[in-house]
Amino acid sequence: KAGVTQTPRYLIKTRGQQVTLSCSPISGHRSVSWYQQTPGQGLQFLFEYFSETQRNKGNFPGRFSGRQFSNSRSEMNVSTLELGDSALYLCASIPTIGSLGYTFGSGTRLTVV
């Protein structure tokens, strides 16, 4: 059974650019949530998707957005990158909304220069 696949693993971007990260959940899982991990703020919830709909969003500016496709794959986008957006972005695969099991991917390490 394949795990959670996040691509790319590493990314370097320049301030002001935009970036798109991808997450493919475990086969059969229908919900995906995203987290940002930084040394200063720790792990913070970004948003959660179920059935192509954003169900909830954390306290992040509108530059952070996402979407989920019919095959449950999810993308998150960050526009107008700032240095503070440098972080490890983790995606969690969840069987369905309200399920207990969160399986995290290996993450995408984004560096903004």
Chain contacts with other proteins (rule: CB under 8 A): 31, 33, 35, 42-48, 50, 55-56, 58, 90, 97-107
Q: Which residues pair with 92 in a beta bridge?
A: 33, 104
Instruction: Give the residue with the Cβ less far from other proteins, 47 or 64.
Output: 47
Least separation in angstroms between CB 91 and other proteins? 9
Torsion angle in degrees (nearest 10) through CA of 104, 55, 9, 36: -80
Least separation in angstroms between CB 104 and other proteins? 4
Instruction: Give the residue with the Cβ less far from other proteins, 10 or 14.
Output: 10
Instruction: Give the residue with the Cβ less far from other proteins, 42 or 62.
Output: 42
Measure the CA–CA gap between 34 and 4, rounded to whole angstroms.
12
CA 24 to chain centre: 10
Least separation in angstroms between CB 16 and other proteins? 27
**Which residue's structure tokens are 């530059």?**
63
